[in-house]
Every structure is written in C-alpha cells, then in structure tokens.
Amino acid sequence: MGGRTWFAAGAGVVSLLLSALMVLPGCSPDIDSQDAAGTQEAVEVRYVTVQPEEDLTGLVRNPAMGWVLYADAFAGFPQADAYWTSQDRYARSASIFYVRLPWSQLEPEEGVYAWETDQNFKDLVQGALSRGLRLAFRVYVDSEGSYRQATPGFVREAGAQGVVNADSGRWDPYVDDPVFQEKFSRFLDAFGRRYNDPLTVDFIDGNGLGRWGEGNRLKLLGDDVYGVLRWISGAYSKNFDRVLLGVQYNKSSTGFGLDAIDAVAIEEYGYVIRKDTLGLPYWFTEADKERIRSHFPDVPFYGENVYQYLQSRRRWADDYDTLRDALEAVLNDALSLHANTLDLRIPEDAEAWFSEAPDLVREFIVRGGYRLVPVEVTYPDTAVRGGRITISHVWKNSGVGVLPNNKPQWNYKYKVAFALIEPGTDRVAFMAVDGLAEPSDWVEGGRYTYTLEAVIDESVPAGTYRLGCAIIDSTLNNVPALNLAVLGERTGTGWYLLGEMRVD
C-alpha cells in the first residue's frame, strides 16, 4: 500500500512516499533543501493553505456508486432504440446500467455469444456507454420467473441432468451436475475475456444460481451446497479479477446461508454485498440490516428496491398507503445501510421515481455512495530542485458509502497524488503520491489528515507551476481517475488545481 519508492511515469517524475512529519495547517517552518552536490542552502518558505469549495448538490459519477438503470430480462428483453428513448432523461442522473438476463440469451448456441452476434444487445450496451454509464451484469441459469428457458439447450444435450418445470415445461439443470458446471465455466471464461474491464464494467453479480439468480431454491442432485458456492465463487473470481463482484445476501435459512457467503464469497474472494429487498418491512428485518451494517466499511453495500413495475403492478400497495411512502422507505433503508448504489430500474420505475419523488432522487445523488473531498491542503509556495517539500492534506467523505479500494479486484489501485503542472499545458512535470492516504478508510463524519514529504527531482525545470490534486489509478499510468466532490478549475486530464508553486 505504500513505501519509499521512486519511479518514472509518463510525462513526469513521480515519487511514491509514505506520509511522515505532521505539519499543522498554517505553520510556516523553514526547510533545509539539499542540492545535487550535497550542499545545503536555507530557504525561507511561505506555506499556503487552500480549502477547496465542496460540491454539495451536483452529480458525481464514479465507479461503484450511484443510481442504476436496468434492462431486466425476466419479462422480455428491451429493444435498444425504444429503451434509450424512454430512459434518456433519467440516464443523466444515473451512473450504472445493469443488464440482468438468462445465460441462453448470451450464448444461444455453444460458442456463439450475444456480444459478438446480437445487434440489439450490442446497441443496448453501447447506448449505455455513450451516455457515460458503466456496465453491470447478472447472468441467471434458472428459468423460474424468466420469460424463456434460462440455460441453453446444448447443456442438456451434452448430458447434464436437471428437472422440467411442470407448469412452464422449461428444463433447468442441477447446479451441482458436473456437465452443467463444465459448460457454465467455459461460458464464464468467454464472458470474462470480454467484460473483465474496469474501464467500462462496474460490477458483476458473481453467482446467478437459483430463482432469479439470487441463490434461492437451488436445484441439486446432492446436498453439498457449500461446494457449489465454492465452485461458482471461484469461477467468477478467476475470470473477473479486475472487476468488482457482488453476491446476493439473503437470509441464513435460505440458499447458501449467510455464514457460508461470509466465509467464501466475502472473506475469501472479496465480494461486495448486494440485497434486493430494500423497503420490504415484514421480510427485511432490523436483524437483517444489522448484519449487513456489521460488514461496513470493509464491505460496501449495493441496494435494490424490492418493488418493481411500480405503476402497473402496484405491489407496494400491500405495505404502504402511497407510492411516495414506499420510495421513502427504500431510500431510508439505502442510506441507513451505507448503500453505494440504488436502482431507478426499468423505464416504468424510473419514471415513477422522477414523477413521485424527484427530491428523493436528488437526495441519493448527494448522499449515496462516496463523495471524496480535499477539505484543506497546505503546501509551500516555493521549492528548490533537489529539495524537500511538505504537503499537509485533510480529506473527508460526505457520502454514506465507501470507495471499495481495498477489494482484491482493485488492490488499492486508487491513490492520492499531487502534481506540478506546466502553465499553459496539461503536462505533469513532477508528481508525488501519498502511500498512506488510503481512500477506502474514509467514512462519513471523519476527517483524515496526512503529511506528504517529497523531494523535487533535479530534472524539473525551474519555473512557476500549477499545483494539482487528484486520486489517480496506479494501474493506468497514474492518471487522475476519480471525480472529487469539489468545485473549481481542473485540467483537461483531471487534476484539480489548488494554486501555484515556484521551483528555483
């Protein structure tokens, strides 16, 4: 997570240093600077303190957070043009596009994949990307509740054992059958090759078994439920090692059981928690919520409204007097559970949220997920090539959620950095990364103070530079990667500008 390491990166020189000597904001110490020849020259340094203006109302789009739009293929799959025509106005408030569909739709014939051959699927996905939304997927294999047989026919033809539903006539596999597991593992290999991409994919539901892909009502030949969980969790983790994985967190008495999910999916493979029953008063109990909260902040929470087809089915009316009451309950559950995401869902439901409760939509925009803010930065206005500088910086998270930088798929790739940027260009002449400032530690209500010491490289030309701040992605050439919840100027490459520093 940090260390006293020097390395070159891209356009500038980068230092990665641990936070060291604490400097209180407003202090103006003298710092001894040592030149390349080893001589020392006392330089009086004036320290400048800036407090960036926080963005209190705007949408901040970042990975692993925000409102979610759905293409939910349980009652049919939408046509791309019609879908985006109906969702366009709502997409401006969302961050993620979630596609939930049967395996048979993604691989109708063995080795034939929708992302290569199905133009409507490709258009639907591209429509999300062109609107600035990141992708998420759940692939389910059980036909219960689906509009079509969920597991492709070639799996049965290959000898997988299963059962035919007496009402629908659709065949479903036993999920512990070795032929089924071999075929689905092969699909996941291809699926991962295509979508194990953190630049475009936000998360994958890393299970998809049982009714609705939620892990309930598992169809089994034997009784080794734990073995099935280990198999499916390992298969997803193998193929999605750079994209966050989620697991449906049901009840201890259903599906895989919460103790097993905790031990395997969450602790061993680093899954995030997903829950599909927000707002359901008699089923989603306070004990259920407390168990989810007990994992915070190490494990982020992704929430989903239990109610869907809000206007045409009105299932919320069994529990609440008005739709507004139901939506308030959903939002309250999300905020109390530190939710990173919440769903606007399908077009009908998104329209209901915006017509009945636009203020609740705005509330989750400004409170849901994580909103990272550099509260205060103190830095020297002058530096000497070969000399040491000290930057004190204070951060907060004004959202209820957390940046899951600690998950193994991300492996602490997001880091706090400061850069000297050439005037008139976006070129970084020098960058310093704070190895102890860890964003996944930041939770609502805290203040996190660090002091970074770095040595200005001798190769940096003398002159006056703009000082920039960012959270960079260390796996992508240290480019600024997260949007901060602050107003003010930033460069075209994403550095938030704090002021100027002269290098002599």
Asked if residues 394 and 374 have their Cβ atoms less than 8 Å apart, the reply is yes
Tell me what pLDDT residue 23 has: 31
- Angstrom CA distances, 429 to 313, 388, 458, 488, stand at 59, 16, 11, 22
Helix (H) or strand (E) run with residue 13 in it: strand 12-17
Show the tokens assigned to 366.
């400004």
In whole angstroms, what is the distance from residue 498 CA to residue 490 CA? Answer: 9
Which tens digits make up the pLDDT trace of 107-161?
Answer: 999 999 999 999 999 999 999 999 999 999 999 999 988 889 999 999 999 999 9
Q: What is the DSSP string of 184-207?
A: HHHHHHHHHHHH--TTTEEEEES-
In whole angstroms, what is the distance from residue 236 CA to residue 243 CA? Answer: 10
Render each residue's pLDDT in the chain as its tens digit; 504 residues.
443 233 333 333 444 444 433 333 333 333 333 333 333 445 577 999 999 999 999 999 999 999 999 998 877 899 999 999 999 999 999 999 999 999 999 999 999 999 999 999 999 999 999 999 999 999 999 998 888 999 999 999 999 999 998 888 999 999 999 999 999 999 999 999 999 999 999 999 999 999 888 888 999 999 999 999 999 999 999 999 999 999 999 888 888 999 999 999 999 999 999 999 999 999 999 999 999 999 999 999 999 999 999 999 999 999 999 999 999 999 999 999 999 999 999 999 999 999 999 999 999 999 999 999 999 999 999 999 999 999 999 999 999 999 999 999 999 999 999 999 998 889 999 999 999 999 999 999 999 999 999 999 999 999 999 999 999 999 999 999 999 999 999 999 999 999 999 999
Number of other CB atoms surrounding residue 298 within 10 Å: 14
Helix (H) or strand (E) run with residue 308 in it: none
Asked if residues 379 and 27 have their Cβ atoms less than 8 Å apart, the reply is no
Give Cβ neighbours of residue 157 (< 8 Å, ≥ 6 apart): none
- Angstrom CA distances, 306 to 74, 276, 277, 344, 482, stand at 15, 6, 4, 11, 30
The residues that bridge with 216 in the sheet, in sequence order, are: 211
Which tens digits make up the pLDDT trace of 29-57?
Answer: 333 333 333 334 455 779 999 999 999 99
- Angstrom CA distances, 187 to 76, 103, 123, stand at 22, 9, 22
Mean pLDDT of the chain: 91
Report residue 346 CA to chain centroid gap.
21
In whole angstroms, what is the distance from residue 312 CA to residue 322 CA? Answer: 14
Tell me what pLDDT residue 43 has: 56
**Which DSSP letter does residue 407 get?**
S
**Which DSSP letter does residue 49 get?**
E
In one letter, which amino acid is 272? Answer: V
| The 3-state secondary structure of 56-70, one letter per residue | CCCCCCCCCCEEEEE
In whole angstroms, what is the distance from residue 431 CA to residue 468 CA? Answer: 9
Asked if residues 203 and 272 have their Cβ atoms less than 8 Å apart, the reply is yes
Tell me what pLDDT residue 253 has: 82
In whole angstroms, what is the distance from residue 377 CA to residue 392 CA? Answer: 6
In whole angstroms, what is the distance from residue 169 CA to residue 349 CA? Answer: 31
CA dihedral angle for residue 246, residue 250, residue 254, residue 258, rounded to 10 degrees: 70
Tell me what pLDDT residue 399 has: 98
What b/e readout covers 13-45, taking b as 16+ CB neighbours within 10 angstroms?
bbbbbbbeeebebeeeeebebeeeeeeeeeeeb
Q: Report which of 276, 249, 292, 246 is spatially closest to residue 136, judged by C-alpha positions.
A: 246
Structural domains of the chain, ranges and CATH numbers in brackets: 5-57+372-503 (2.60.40.770), 66-243+267-272+304-367 (3.20.20)
Asked if residues 503 and 462 have their Cβ atoms less than 8 Å apart, the reply is yes
What b/e readout covers 264-275, taking b as 16+ CB neighbours within 10 angstroms?
bbbeebbbbbbb
Q: How far apart are the first and last CA of the chain?
A: 32
Q: What angle do CA 335, 336, 338 make, to 5 degrees?
A: 65
In whole angstroms, what is the distance from residue 41 CA to residue 19 CA? Answer: 24
Tell me what pLDDT residue 45 has: 78
Give Cβ neighbours of residue 280 (< 8 Å, ≥ 6 apart): 306, 319
